[in-house]
Amino acid sequence: MSLKKIISYAVKEFINTYTTMALMIVFGILFYEFIPDHWGKLTILSIVIIVYVDIKFFSKKSGRK
């Protein structure tokens, strides 16, 4: 594996990970501020949706057998 591929992979994973974490934090804060009665349920729902999208679209599928 070349150094360019390693750096590209590391940067992509860094961006994907922190984008996912930032979305979870932002949704949690928004739900807590604007819908305080149901913020726990909505936060859990948003985490499930974000993790599903992260796995579906951001995870790299291995071509190895």
Sorted by where each begins, the domain ranges of the chain are 17-58
Q: How many CB atoms lie within 10 A of CB 43?
A: 19
The pLDDT of residue 19 is: 86
The pLDDT of residue 60 is: 66
Average pLDDT, rounded, for the chain: 83
The pLDDT of residue 63 is: 45
